Amino acid sequence: MEDAFVSVNNLSKTYVSKGETLNILCGTSFEVSEGELICLLGTSGSGKTTTLNILAGIDRPTSGEIFYNGQNINEWTLDYLYDYRLKEIGFIFQEFHLLEHLTSLENILVPLLLNDWEEDDARERSFNLLKQVGLVNKAMNLPNELSSGEKQRVCVARAIANSPSLLIADEPTGTLDSKTGDDIMKLLVGISKKSKMTMIYTTHDPYLTKIASRILVIQKGMIFESNVKNLEDVDYDNIIFEKNNKGEIL
């Protein structure tokens, strides 16, 4: 467990809504090694986003442990957690969450300035990142002047601005058409490989699993390891996983 880059033990998350208890995650465990490209596959409401939020330190689990580089992030103070989110994690939201009053360049500037960069240096780096995602000509455009694909590119650039070790993408293609989705995925994989970043992304689209080095399937709050490499043609909604005695899917 100590060797794993990210290790999740017995993770559970419960919400109480209108007096009703909802178990989103039910004591699940998995591990991620450094440099891996993990796909977390699951239907809507299966707990994908909750898992990523907990991994990114945005949300806290009800119980369980998350080890990042051998350290239990649940035991960290808030300040540690902020630093973790800022420096170690790059988060790409499905709904972009770009700041509407800032231009593309300025949106990328935000995490750098939060990380105490000098503004001039930060601008230069942001510009380079925009170049990297192919959006130099849209540097001064506001989010409402960008297409969904362009917005997601800005999100990618913003996520990698502080060179995180772990890139987390929550359904990065969820709101995009398949062509644009493919482009974004290619961009993400390219960046993660080039920067040797570990990446975890979620999707409900089996087609997007093929680029992952490993697939984790999430169902009813439980995460299972899948040995199936290509789930493209599988009707995964009706799949029945068989588990071995270690809990792994056969």
Residues of this chain that interact with other proteins (CB under 8 A) are: 53, 56, 58-59, 78-79, 82-87, 89, 91, 93, 95, 97, 99-102, 106, 109-111, 113-116, 119, 158, 162
Residue with tokens 């590119």: 153
- Cα 97 to Cα 11, 110, 154, 227: the distances in Å are 27, 12, 10, 34
Between 164 and 206, whose beta carbon lies closer to other proteins? 164
Between 77 and 238, whose beta carbon lies closer to other proteins? 77
Q: Kindly state the smallest distance separating residue 241's Cβ from other proteins, in Å.
A: 28
Q: Kindly state the smallest distance separating residue 238's Cβ from other proteins, in Å.
A: 28
Between 85 and 153, whose beta carbon lies closer to other proteins? 85
Neighbours of 15 (CB within 10 A): 11
Between 51 and 226, whose beta carbon lies closer to other proteins? 51
Asked if 39 and 60 touch (Cβ cutoff 8 Å), the reply is no
Q: Which of 61, 95, 91, 99 lies closest to 164, judged by CA?
A: 91
Residue 68, strand partner residues: 6, 71
Q: Kindly state the smallest distance separating residue 120's Cβ from other proteins, in Å.
A: 11
The full DSSP string for 5-38 is SEEEEEEEEEEEETTEEEEEEEEEEEEE-TT-EE
Q: Kindly state the smallest distance separating residue 174's Cβ from other proteins, in Å.
A: 11
Between 49 and 198, whose beta carbon lies closer to other proteins? 49
Q: Kindly state the smallest distance separating residue 116's Cβ from other proteins, in Å.
A: 6
